Structure 1
Protein backbone atom coordinates (compact mmCIF):
# COMPACT_ATOMS: atom_id res chain seq x y z
CA UNK A 1 0.00 0.00 0.00
CA UNK A 2 1.06 3.57 -0.59
CA UNK A 3 1.96 5.87 2.27
CA UNK A 4 2.47 9.56 2.63
CA UNK A 5 6.07 8.91 3.64
CA UNK A 6 5.85 11.28 6.60
CA UNK A 7 5.28 10.39 10.22
CA UNK A 8 3.37 7.17 9.76
CA UNK A 9 4.78 5.62 12.92
CA UNK A 10 3.88 8.63 15.04
CA UNK A 11 0.29 9.05 13.78
CA UNK A 12 -1.85 7.05 16.23
CA UNK A 13 -5.57 6.64 15.46
CA UNK A 14 -8.31 6.03 17.99
CA UNK A 15 -11.53 4.82 16.42
CA UNK A 16 -14.79 3.18 17.47
CA UNK A 17 -18.44 3.99 17.79
CA UNK A 18 -19.79 7.17 19.30
CA UNK A 19 -19.95 7.39 23.07
CA UNK A 20 -17.19 4.85 23.74
CA UNK A 21 -14.72 7.18 25.47
CA UNK A 22 -12.34 8.00 22.57
CA UNK A 23 -12.42 11.76 22.98
CA UNK A 24 -12.07 11.51 26.75
CA UNK A 25 -8.93 9.43 26.26
CA UNK A 26 -7.49 11.86 23.70
CA UNK A 27 -8.29 14.78 26.01
CA UNK A 28 -6.29 13.00 28.75
CA UNK A 29 -3.36 12.42 26.37
CA UNK A 30 -3.40 16.12 25.51
CA UNK A 31 -3.32 16.98 29.24
CA UNK A 32 -0.18 14.83 29.43
CA UNK A 33 1.45 16.96 26.73
CA UNK A 34 0.81 14.87 23.62
CA UNK A 35 -0.36 16.37 20.34
CA UNK A 36 -3.83 15.49 19.11
CA UNK A 37 -6.42 16.18 16.44
CA UNK A 38 -10.06 17.09 16.87
CA UNK A 39 -12.89 14.79 15.80
CA UNK A 40 -14.26 15.80 12.41
CA UNK A 41 -17.87 14.67 12.81
CA UNK A 42 -18.68 16.57 15.99
CA UNK A 43 -17.04 19.79 14.78
CA UNK A 44 -18.77 19.63 11.39
CA UNK A 45 -22.15 19.06 13.04
CA UNK A 46 -21.56 22.04 15.35
CA UNK A 47 -20.48 24.30 12.46
CA UNK A 48 -23.23 23.23 10.07
CA UNK A 49 -25.90 23.55 12.77
CA UNK A 50 -24.68 27.04 13.62
CA UNK A 51 -24.98 28.26 10.02
CA UNK A 52 -28.04 26.28 8.95
CA UNK A 53 -25.91 24.15 6.63
CA UNK A 54 -27.01 20.88 5.08
CA UNK A 55 -23.80 18.84 5.57
CA UNK A 56 -25.31 16.94 8.48
CA UNK A 57 -25.61 13.17 8.85
CA UNK A 58 -29.40 13.48 9.08
CA UNK A 59 -29.67 15.87 6.09
CA UNK A 60 -27.00 15.06 3.46
CA UNK A 61 -24.87 12.03 4.34
CA UNK A 62 -22.68 12.29 1.23
CA UNK A 63 -21.86 15.96 1.79
CA UNK A 64 -21.20 15.23 5.47
CA UNK A 65 -18.74 12.48 4.42
CA UNK A 66 -16.95 14.85 2.01
CA UNK A 67 -16.49 17.44 4.75
CA UNK A 68 -15.21 14.76 7.12
CA UNK A 69 -12.73 13.63 4.46
CA UNK A 70 -11.50 17.19 3.95
CA UNK A 71 -11.14 17.61 7.71
CA UNK A 72 -9.16 14.38 8.08
CA UNK A 73 -6.84 15.27 5.16
CA UNK A 74 -6.17 18.66 6.74
CA UNK A 75 -5.52 17.00 10.13
CA UNK A 76 -3.04 14.63 8.48
CA UNK A 77 -1.18 17.52 6.81
CA UNK A 78 -1.13 19.55 10.02
CA UNK A 79 0.24 16.59 11.99
CA UNK A 80 2.97 16.05 9.40
CA UNK A 81 4.05 19.67 9.87
CA UNK A 82 4.36 19.31 13.66
CA UNK A 83 7.60 18.50 15.37
CA UNK A 84 8.63 15.02 16.42
CA UNK A 85 6.59 12.89 18.76
CA UNK A 86 3.30 11.07 18.51
CA UNK A 87 0.08 12.70 17.34
CA UNK A 88 -3.16 11.11 18.48
CA UNK A 89 -5.98 11.22 15.93
CA UNK A 90 -9.61 11.27 17.05
CA UNK A 91 -10.57 9.14 14.02
CA UNK A 92 -8.88 9.18 10.62
CA UNK A 93 -9.48 9.00 6.87
CA UNK A 94 -10.54 5.34 7.06
CA UNK A 95 -13.38 6.30 9.43
CA UNK A 96 -14.98 8.11 6.49
CA UNK A 97 -15.06 4.80 4.63
CA UNK A 98 -16.59 3.11 7.65
CA UNK A 99 -19.24 5.84 7.80
CA UNK A 100 -20.08 5.48 4.11
CA UNK A 101 -20.38 1.71 4.48
CA UNK A 102 -22.53 2.09 7.59
CA UNK A 103 -24.89 4.34 5.64
CA UNK A 104 -25.00 1.99 2.63
CA UNK A 105 -23.25 4.55 0.43
CA UNK A 106 -20.67 3.73 -2.21
CA UNK A 107 -17.06 4.59 -1.41
CA UNK A 108 -15.89 6.95 -4.18
CA UNK A 109 -12.50 6.30 -5.76
CA UNK A 110 -11.04 9.51 -4.35
CA UNK A 111 -11.91 8.43 -0.80
CA UNK A 112 -10.27 5.05 -1.40
CA UNK A 113 -7.15 6.79 -2.77
CA UNK A 114 -7.06 9.10 0.26
CA UNK A 115 -7.09 6.08 2.60
CA UNK A 116 -4.20 4.49 0.69
CA UNK A 117 -2.15 7.67 0.51
CA UNK A 118 -2.68 9.10 4.01
CA UNK A 119 -1.57 6.34 6.32
CA UNK A 120 -1.20 6.05 10.08
CA UNK A 121 0.66 3.82 12.53
CA UNK A 122 -0.12 0.19 11.72
CA UNK A 123 -1.78 -0.22 15.13
CA UNK A 124 -5.16 1.44 15.40
CA UNK A 125 -6.79 1.58 18.83
CA UNK A 126 -10.49 0.76 18.87
CA UNK A 127 -12.79 1.79 21.68
CA UNK A 128 -15.47 -0.93 21.85
CA UNK A 129 -19.14 -0.17 22.40
CA UNK A 130 -19.69 0.69 26.04
CA UNK A 131 -23.41 1.16 26.79
CA UNK A 132 -22.74 2.06 30.43
CA UNK A 133 -21.00 5.32 29.47
CA UNK A 134 -22.92 6.08 26.25
CA UNK A 135 -24.78 9.41 26.34
CA UNK A 136 -26.61 11.40 23.70
CA UNK A 137 -26.04 15.13 23.30
CA UNK A 138 -26.66 17.87 20.72
CA UNK A 139 -24.28 16.29 18.20
CA UNK A 140 -24.62 12.61 19.15
CA UNK A 141 -28.11 11.52 18.18
CA UNK A 142 -27.34 7.83 17.54
CA UNK A 143 -28.76 4.99 19.58
CA UNK A 144 -26.56 2.48 21.39
CA UNK A 145 -27.40 -0.01 18.63
CA UNK A 146 -26.23 2.44 15.94
CA UNK A 147 -23.05 3.06 17.94
CA UNK A 148 -22.41 -0.69 17.88
CA UNK A 149 -23.00 -0.83 14.10
CA UNK A 150 -20.63 2.13 13.69
CA UNK A 151 -17.95 0.29 15.64
CA UNK A 152 -18.32 -2.74 13.37
CA UNK A 153 -18.21 -0.60 10.21
CA UNK A 154 -15.17 1.47 11.14
CA UNK A 155 -13.12 -1.39 12.59
CA UNK A 156 -13.92 -3.50 9.52
CA UNK A 157 -12.74 -0.68 7.27
CA UNK A 158 -9.44 -0.36 9.15
CA UNK A 159 -8.87 -4.11 8.87
CA UNK A 160 -9.63 -3.97 5.13
CA UNK A 161 -6.97 -1.27 4.73
CA UNK A 162 -4.33 -3.37 6.45
CA UNK A 163 -4.31 -1.98 9.97
CA UNK A 164 -3.90 -4.04 13.14
CA UNK A 165 -6.70 -3.32 15.59
CA UNK A 166 -5.97 -3.14 19.30
CA UNK A 167 -9.10 -3.08 21.44
CA UNK A 168 -8.99 -0.62 24.31
CA UNK A 169 -10.11 -1.99 27.66
CA UNK A 170 -13.40 -0.84 29.14
CA UNK A 171 -11.68 0.78 32.07
CA UNK A 172 -11.15 4.20 33.69
CA UNK A 173 -9.35 6.73 31.50
CA UNK A 174 -6.12 6.40 33.50
CA UNK A 175 -6.02 2.64 32.77
CA UNK A 176 -6.87 3.19 29.10
CA UNK A 177 -4.15 5.84 28.82
CA UNK A 178 -1.49 3.52 30.28
CA UNK A 179 -2.68 0.64 28.06
CA UNK A 180 -2.41 2.77 24.92
CA UNK A 181 1.00 4.22 25.79
CA UNK A 182 2.29 0.75 26.67
CA UNK A 183 1.19 -0.56 23.26
CA UNK A 184 2.87 1.93 20.93
CA UNK A 185 6.54 2.65 20.41
CA UNK A 186 7.17 6.20 21.60
CA UNK A 187 10.45 7.66 20.42
Structure 2
Protein backbone atom coordinates (compact mmCIF):
# COMPACT_ATOMS: atom_id res chain seq x y z
CA UNK A 1 0.00 0.00 0.00
CA UNK A 2 1.30 3.40 -0.95
CA UNK A 3 -0.68 6.15 0.70
CA UNK A 4 0.04 9.51 2.23
CA UNK A 5 -0.28 13.11 1.24
CA UNK A 6 -2.10 14.12 -1.90
CA UNK A 7 0.47 15.47 -4.35
CA UNK A 8 3.30 13.67 -2.55
CA UNK A 9 4.44 11.62 -5.55
CA UNK A 10 2.52 8.38 -4.99
CA UNK A 11 1.27 7.94 -8.54
CA UNK A 12 4.67 8.76 -9.99
CA UNK A 13 6.25 6.14 -7.72
CA UNK A 14 3.63 3.57 -8.78
CA UNK A 15 4.42 4.32 -12.43
CA UNK A 16 8.10 3.62 -11.77
CA UNK A 17 7.28 0.34 -10.02
CA UNK A 18 5.08 -0.64 -12.96
CA UNK A 19 7.86 0.29 -15.39
CA UNK A 20 10.07 -2.14 -13.45
CA UNK A 21 7.57 -4.93 -14.05
CA UNK A 22 5.56 -4.94 -10.83
CA UNK A 23 1.76 -5.11 -10.68
CA UNK A 24 0.20 -1.82 -9.64
CA UNK A 25 -3.33 -0.59 -9.02
CA UNK A 26 -4.03 3.06 -9.79
CA UNK A 27 -5.63 5.35 -7.25
CA UNK A 28 -9.39 4.80 -6.96
CA UNK A 29 -10.06 8.54 -6.76
CA UNK A 30 -8.77 9.37 -10.22
CA UNK A 31 -10.48 6.30 -11.70
CA UNK A 32 -13.78 7.31 -10.08
CA UNK A 33 -13.47 10.82 -11.49
CA UNK A 34 -12.87 9.41 -14.99
CA UNK A 35 -15.80 7.02 -14.52
CA UNK A 36 -18.07 9.85 -13.35
CA UNK A 37 -17.09 12.11 -16.24
CA UNK A 38 -17.94 9.31 -18.66
CA UNK A 39 -21.30 8.77 -16.94
CA UNK A 40 -23.67 11.01 -15.06
CA UNK A 41 -21.04 12.84 -12.98
CA UNK A 42 -22.81 12.26 -9.69
CA UNK A 43 -19.82 10.68 -7.91
CA UNK A 44 -17.44 13.57 -8.55
CA UNK A 45 -15.96 14.53 -5.16
CA UNK A 46 -16.91 18.19 -5.62
CA UNK A 47 -20.52 17.18 -6.46
CA UNK A 48 -21.20 14.39 -3.92
CA UNK A 49 -18.25 13.68 -1.63
CA UNK A 50 -20.14 10.96 0.27
CA UNK A 51 -20.98 9.03 -2.91
CA UNK A 52 -17.39 9.44 -4.05
CA UNK A 53 -16.09 8.03 -0.74
CA UNK A 54 -18.47 5.06 -0.82
CA UNK A 55 -17.44 4.28 -4.41
CA UNK A 56 -13.76 4.51 -3.38
CA UNK A 57 -14.37 1.87 -0.70
CA UNK A 58 -16.17 -0.43 -3.16
CA UNK A 59 -13.41 -0.02 -5.73
CA UNK A 60 -10.66 -0.58 -3.15
CA UNK A 61 -12.29 -3.82 -1.98
CA UNK A 62 -12.62 -5.03 -5.58
CA UNK A 63 -9.01 -4.07 -6.33
CA UNK A 64 -7.76 -5.99 -3.31
CA UNK A 65 -9.82 -9.07 -4.13
CA UNK A 66 -8.61 -9.08 -7.76
CA UNK A 67 -4.90 -8.72 -6.91
CA UNK A 68 -2.60 -11.69 -7.38
CA UNK A 69 0.93 -11.86 -6.06
CA UNK A 70 2.98 -8.80 -5.20
CA UNK A 71 0.80 -5.80 -6.04
CA UNK A 72 1.32 -2.15 -5.20
CA UNK A 73 -1.83 -0.13 -4.47
CA UNK A 74 -2.16 3.65 -4.75
CA UNK A 75 -4.48 4.20 -1.78
CA UNK A 76 -7.01 1.68 -0.49
CA UNK A 77 -9.69 0.81 2.04
CA UNK A 78 -8.25 2.84 4.92
CA UNK A 79 -8.05 5.94 2.73
CA UNK A 80 -11.65 5.41 1.63
CA UNK A 81 -12.72 4.95 5.26
CA UNK A 82 -11.16 8.32 6.13
CA UNK A 83 -13.16 9.94 3.33
CA UNK A 84 -16.37 8.21 4.44
CA UNK A 85 -15.98 9.48 8.00
CA UNK A 86 -15.10 12.98 6.75
CA UNK A 87 -18.41 13.07 4.87
CA UNK A 88 -20.42 12.02 7.94
CA UNK A 89 -20.55 8.28 7.32
CA UNK A 90 -19.77 5.44 9.68
CA UNK A 91 -16.28 4.00 9.87
CA UNK A 92 -16.38 0.64 8.00
CA UNK A 93 -14.53 -1.33 10.69
CA UNK A 94 -15.42 -4.80 9.34
CA UNK A 95 -13.86 -3.97 5.96
CA UNK A 96 -10.75 -2.46 7.55
CA UNK A 97 -10.37 -5.53 9.75
CA UNK A 98 -10.82 -8.01 6.90
CA UNK A 99 -8.68 -6.38 4.21
CA UNK A 100 -5.09 -6.16 5.33
CA UNK A 101 -2.12 -4.93 3.34
CA UNK A 102 1.27 -6.53 3.97
CA UNK A 103 3.11 -3.20 4.21
CA UNK A 104 2.09 0.44 4.18
CA UNK A 105 4.29 3.21 2.83
CA UNK A 106 3.34 6.83 3.42
CA UNK A 107 4.35 9.67 1.13
CA UNK A 108 4.93 12.67 3.39
CA UNK A 109 3.77 16.16 2.48
CA UNK A 110 6.07 17.60 -0.16
CA UNK A 111 4.99 21.18 -0.92
CA UNK A 112 7.72 21.65 -3.53
CA UNK A 113 6.12 19.09 -5.88
CA UNK A 114 2.45 19.70 -5.01
CA UNK A 115 0.43 20.86 -8.01
CA UNK A 116 -3.26 21.22 -8.72
CA UNK A 117 -4.78 19.80 -11.87
CA UNK A 118 -8.22 19.16 -13.32
CA UNK A 119 -8.81 16.30 -10.85
CA UNK A 120 -6.86 17.61 -7.83
CA UNK A 121 -8.69 20.82 -7.08
CA UNK A 122 -8.11 21.02 -3.33
CA UNK A 123 -5.49 23.25 -1.76
CA UNK A 124 -2.23 22.13 -0.20
CA UNK A 125 -3.68 23.09 3.20
CA UNK A 126 -6.59 20.69 2.62
CA UNK A 127 -4.13 18.00 1.48
CA UNK A 128 -2.16 18.46 4.71
CA UNK A 129 -5.33 18.11 6.82
CA UNK A 130 -6.31 14.96 4.93
CA UNK A 131 -2.78 13.58 5.33
CA UNK A 132 -3.00 13.90 9.11
CA UNK A 133 -6.27 11.97 9.13
CA UNK A 134 -4.92 9.27 6.79
CA UNK A 135 -1.73 8.83 8.80
CA UNK A 136 -3.70 8.49 12.04
CA UNK A 137 -6.18 6.08 10.44
CA UNK A 138 -3.38 3.72 9.40
CA UNK A 139 -1.97 3.84 12.93
CA UNK A 140 -5.45 3.22 14.38
CA UNK A 141 -5.84 0.25 12.03
CA UNK A 142 -2.67 -1.18 13.61
CA UNK A 143 -0.30 -0.67 10.69
CA UNK A 144 3.29 0.48 11.14
CA UNK A 145 3.63 2.84 8.17
CA UNK A 146 7.04 3.27 6.60
CA UNK A 147 7.77 6.86 5.57
CA UNK A 148 8.95 7.32 2.00
CA UNK A 149 12.01 9.50 1.60
CA UNK A 150 11.79 12.76 -0.31
CA UNK A 151 14.11 11.64 -3.08
CA UNK A 152 14.16 10.88 -6.77
CA UNK A 153 11.50 8.57 -8.15
CA UNK A 154 14.11 5.89 -8.82
CA UNK A 155 15.52 6.15 -5.29
CA UNK A 156 12.02 5.94 -3.82
CA UNK A 157 11.29 2.79 -5.83
CA UNK A 158 14.61 1.30 -4.72
CA UNK A 159 13.71 2.14 -1.11
CA UNK A 160 10.30 0.44 -1.33
CA UNK A 161 11.77 -2.68 -2.92
CA UNK A 162 14.57 -2.83 -0.36
CA UNK A 163 11.99 -2.72 2.46
CA UNK A 164 10.29 -5.72 0.87
CA UNK A 165 13.60 -7.46 0.14
CA UNK A 166 12.54 -7.94 -3.47
TM tier, shorter chain?
A: over 0.9
- The 3-state SS of whatever aligns with 2:54 is helix
- Report how far residue 66 of structure 1 moved: 1.1
TM-score (norm 2): 0.94
Find 1:95's aligned residue among 68, 73, 79: 79
How many residue pairs get aligned? The number is: 166
Q: Report if the CA contact (8 A) 2:49-2:87 is conserved.
A: no
**Retained in 1: the 8 A contact 2:54–2:84?**
no
Residue equivalent to 2:114:
134
Name the structure 2 match of 1:34.
22
User: 1:25 and 1:56 mapped to 2: Cα distance?
Assistant: 25
Specify the alignment match of 2:90 in structure 1.
107
Greater Cα offset, 92-101 or 35-44: 92-101
Mapped contact 2:57–2:81 kept (Cα < 8 A): no
Flag as ranges the 4+ runs of structure 1 deviating above 6 A.
Answer: none
Contact 1:98 1:156 in 2 (8 A): no
**Which structure 1 residue ranges, 5 or more long, are not aligned?**
1-12
| C-alpha RMSD of matched pairs (Å) | 1.3
Aligned residue number for residue 4 of structure 1: none
Q: 5+ residue gaps in structure 2?
A: none
TM-score (norm 1): 0.84
Match of 2:145 among 144, 165, 169: 165
Q: Is the 8 A contact 1:98 1:155 kept in 2?
A: no
The counterpart of 1:46, out of the listed 34, 40, 45, is 34
Instruction: Tell me if structure 2 keeps the 8 A contact 1:17–1:149.
Output: no
